[in-house]
Amino acid sequence: MILGYAGKFLEVNLSTEKIKEVSFDDEVLRDYVGGRGLAAKILWDRLGSKWEKIDPLGSENILLFLTGPLTGYFPGGRICVSGKSPQSNGVVGSTVGGEFGVELRCAGYDGIIVTGEAKKPVYLFIKDSDVEIRDAERVWGKDAKQTVKILTKECRELLKERFPLYGEWKEPALLYIGPAGENKVRTAVVAAKWTHAAGYGGYGAVMGSKNLKALAIKGTGPLPPVADMKKIERLIRVVNDNAYESELWRRWGTGAGGYEFGAKTSSEPVRNWQNEWHDEKSFGVDQFENRVWIKQSWSDFGCPTCCLKIAMVKNGKFKGAITDNPDYEMQAYLGPNLGIFIPEENVFLSTLIDDLGLCGIQTGNVMGFAAELFQRGILTRKDLDGIELKWGDAEAFANLAKKIALREGIGDLLAEGTYRAALKIGKRKNLDVLQYAVQSKGISIGAHGIRSGKDYPEIISYVCSVQGGDHTSTAGLPLAGGGSELMEIFNDSGVYCNFNSFGIPRNVRFNFYTAVTGLKLTRKEWCSTKALRVLQLQRAMLLLGGPDQKWNPKVHDANPPRFYEPLLSGPYKGKTAKKSAVEEYKRRYYRAVGWDKNGIPKSENLRKLGLQDVDRALENLRRKLPP
Amino acid sequence: MLVPGVEFPHFCAQCEDYPCVQSCPVNALSVSKKTGAVLVNTKTCIACGKCISACPGRIPHMHPNGKYVLICNLCNGNPKCVKVCQEGGWDVLKEISREDRNYKLYARRPEETTRDLALKIYGEKAEEFL
């Protein structure tokens, strides 16, 4: 057995209510590490042969909650949620912060595999090796804060009753869905704590389709044993010192971006990406600090960065709205992207989105899309059920968000996500509205534009990513460099927080892995074989797709048309991405990761990595798209 | 964290009359002469849980596997939690020398501290969460 792993995975079949423990061979854990990598492997092994027919929102889909060997040791633990994505029909490794991963490993498991579909709403209660499927009727339909409150109380009472002598129980770690997940909205999140969210991938909808409202876990054991504790302590110090010194994130969280990215690098979505520059001083981070932040630092277990702030609206129309730090993505997508430049309104919308269990990025994107169609007169007031969807009207957007979460009227259509909604509206109105949809392969693009060229994503970052528009998994060259997707795969597979690894020497994370597991791993080895294997698996499943949408790399490996429109104002006025440069870069990227001209992984490369069955599965696609 | 956003460390207050030590039926608990912290003799402890009920802050915890109770022993005079807090620059925890004060006053149950802190942070809005 490899050190650093608990060695057991919990498999829960909700249809038959059977619970068992499974484990994986050492080779599998060594090659795929955990988290996103292992998720790709498990999904391919179990569903690969019939991937195209699996409905992501059906009972056949598998929902995975996986940790990695570094979870709990590397400062800032996370948990990776995965499965067949209802957004991209591929695999997305969506990670969320909080204590869930650490508690899970302390309970003696490396991950939870959920199959089947419960007949009525349930939640999973785990205390070390005691696993129980419990009735969740009383929290079904409740918003995020209510769910947390009721379940925390219920679980603590349960623990007190069962272990009366233990002392005072702390709250269990929770993963749960809001009303949006229950209604299978494709932009629903799996939320943790209050309210961190795994948004990309839409796994909230998958959880809802399985009638699984929440998972509550309490582990009392130690973390799994490691190879070299002394070395880990030393490395934790390196990471912590680096985090203590980066004043930016410790003081401002990522919140400073709201103004910085908009005004300085010109890469923030403004009115559904019609522009990427604004100089509204009212949206500066100092405004947030003075007007709405009530707690300066809040962090999850073991995290030195403390990027969370707590914001509350203190007066005015939206008095009483409380949320955790509208971070940069929330600030951008629920702010300038909807034409809103007032911190209070932004906090109000962010609170609402959290409570409904929606993804702020993707719901912000689809609402911006709807507002642009309203601006252009394509969607009328009648289409929008009487909502006057003007830019900057927070209440109108709040009404729309509620409709989306409950799938009422126009909300039912927009709940399908930007891409699918665009197709449907296009069909209904007989117009090409896909040109206003800013997404890549079904996944909305994160709030980092490429047109000005001053932010970190490159022109093919979203084009070639195996996770579509995911801004935390962007493609780029060189493959072993910092901007490459392969390094992101390591973060998501070791399952720890991206933010704590900014600025540390590159080899620290691999040394960390070696200290935990006792296995040698270098950056070169990771980038040339292991990460590449995960990348090819994800790419293969993305291209196989189905059942409702399939991606043709010739058509869909492209930036949204909006990114070729010149910027309207600001210091980078007129700048835009060049189609020829994108094509050229794309060709180079294909060659580097071993894909053919059509973007399909090459046969010999797959065989070299030991993925013969993937190669066979892609044969059909290759025939359809001759080189 | 019983209320969103309200997290705080829950520590032994080192009461001057040591109700936990007095409640122990087998004399497994003692007071350290050097630091004043409560020491547990793991061999004699029978895990009866009496100290947990006696403690005004419900600080002691049962060991998940072993049959004995866990109480903060101040890391033999060098508390690690204080060190981490100071290094990280939070400056919440400090080492102070023991004086003739009513330390028992600071022994609070998590629910009580949560209530006070939540009211302080959220104002009247906190009543909804409590």
**Gap between the Cα atoms of B66 and A255, Å rounded:** 45
**Chain B residue with Cα closest to A297:** B90
Answer yes or no: is pLDDT of A233 > 90: yes
Compute the nearest-CA separation of B88 from chain A (Å): 6
**Gap between the Cα atoms of A433 and A431, Å rounded:** 6
**Residue among A322, A324, A325 with most chain B CBs within 10 A, to mutate:** A322
Compute the nearest-CA separation of A393 from chain B (Å): 25
Average pLDDT over residues A231-250: 88
Answer yes or no: is pLDDT of A315 > 70: yes
Answer yes or no: is pLDDT of A483 > 80: no
**Chain B residue with Cα closest to A313:** B122
Range of the domain at B99: 19-129
Structure tokens at A200: 């990309």
- Strand A196-198 to A190-192 pairing: antiparallel
3-state secondary structure A211-253: CEEEEEEECCCCCCCCCCHHHHHHHHHHHHHHHHHCHHHHHHC
**Nearest residue, CB atoms, A221 vs list B64, B88, B125:** B64
Report which of A167, A57, A172 is spatially closest to residue A415, judged by C-alpha positions. Answer: A57
Average pLDDT over residues A48-64: 92
Q: What is the pLDDT of residue B51?
A: 92
Q: What is the pLDDT of residue A481?
A: 78
Scanning the structure block, which residue is given the tokens 């109108």?
A: A396
In a domain, B11, yes or no: no
Answer yes or no: is pLDDT of A625 > 80: no
Contact B65 A304 (CB under 8 A): no
**Gap between the Cα atoms of A276 and A289, Å rounded:** 24
Answer yes or no: is pLDDT of A252 > 90: no
The amino acid present at B41, given as its one-letter code, is N
pLDDT digits (tens, 9 = 90+) for A401-441: 999 999 999 999 999 999 999 999 999 999 999 999 999 99
Contact A168 B64 (CB under 8 A): no
pLDDT digits (tens, 9 = 90+) for A328-356: 999 999 999 999 999 999 999 999 999 99
In a domain, B3, yes or no: no
The structure's pTM equals 0.92
Answer yes or no: is pLDDT of A389 > 70: yes
**Gap between the Cα atoms of A134 and A200, Å rounded:** 28
N residues, chain B = 130
**Gap between the Cα atoms of A407 and A183, Å rounded:** 7
Answer yes or no: is pLDDT of A626 > 80: no
Q: Which of chain A's residues have a Cβ under 8 Å away from the Cβ of B64? A: 128, 220-221
Question: Quick check: B9 contacting A, CB < 8 Å?
Answer: no
Q: Are A501 and A475 in contact (CB under 8 A)?
A: no
In a domain, B4, yes or no: no
Residue B29, strand partner residues: B40
In a domain, B53, yes or no: yes
Q: Which of chain A's residues have a Cβ under 8 Å away from the Cβ of B2? A: 152, 171
| Domains of chain A from N-terminus onward | 1-229+483-554 (3.60.9.10), 246-444 (1.10.569.10)
Q: Provide the ipTM.
A: 0.74
Compute the nearest-CA separation of A508 from chain B (Å): 20
Answer yes or no: is pLDDT of A38 > 70: yes
Share of chain A above pLDDT 90, in %: 72
Q: What is the pLDDT of residue A164?
A: 85
Contact B109 A240 (CB under 8 A): no
Question: Quick check: A244 contacting B, CB < 8 Å?
Answer: yes
Q: What is the pLDDT of residue A531?
A: 92
In a domain, B122, yes or no: yes
In a domain, B28, yes or no: yes
Average pLDDT over residues A62-82: 93
Answer yes or no: is pLDDT of A215 > 70: yes
Q: What is the pLDDT of residue B42?
A: 92
Contact A148 B4 (CB under 8 A): yes
Q: Which residues of chain B have pLDDT under 50?
A: none
Q: What is the pLDDT of residue B129?
A: 75
**Nearest residue, CB atoms, A322 vs list B47, B69, B125:** B125
Sorted by sequence, the CB contacts under 8 Å of residue A124 that are 6+ apart come out as A12, A112, A114, A131, A132, A133, A134, A212, A214, A215, A216
| Residue A403 phi, psi (nearest 5) | -65, -40
3-state secondary structure A504-552: CCCCHHHHHHHHHHCCCCCHHHHHHHHHHHHHHHHHHHHHHCCCCCCCC
In a domain, B57, yes or no: yes
Q: Are A263 and A277 in contact (CB under 8 A)?
A: yes
In a domain, B36, yes or no: yes
Average pLDDT over residues A482-488: 85
Distance, CA of A280 to chain centre: 29
**Gap between the Cα atoms of A329 and A350, Å rounded:** 10
Question: Quick check: B66 contacting A, CB < 8 Å?
Answer: no
**Chain B residue with Cα closest to A222:** B64
Q: What is the pLDDT of residue B105?
A: 80
**CB-side neighbour CA atoms (13 Å) of A260:** 15
Answer yes or no: is pLDDT of A627 > 70: no
Alpha helices in A58-172 (DSSP H): 100-106, 144-162
Q: Are B95 and B82 in contact (CB under 8 A)?
A: yes
What total number of domains does chain B contain?
A: 1
Contact B61 A167 (CB under 8 A): yes
Contact A322 B122 (CB under 8 A): yes
**Gap between the Cα atoms of A300 and A31, Å rounded:** 29
CATH code of residue B113: 3.30.70.20
Among A476-485, A538-547, A576-585, the least confident range: A476-485
Question: Quick check: A294 contacting B, CB < 8 Å?
Answer: yes
A296 confidence band (pLDDT: 50, 70, 90): confident
Average pLDDT, chain A: 91
Q: Are A419 and A426 in contact (CB under 8 A)?
A: no
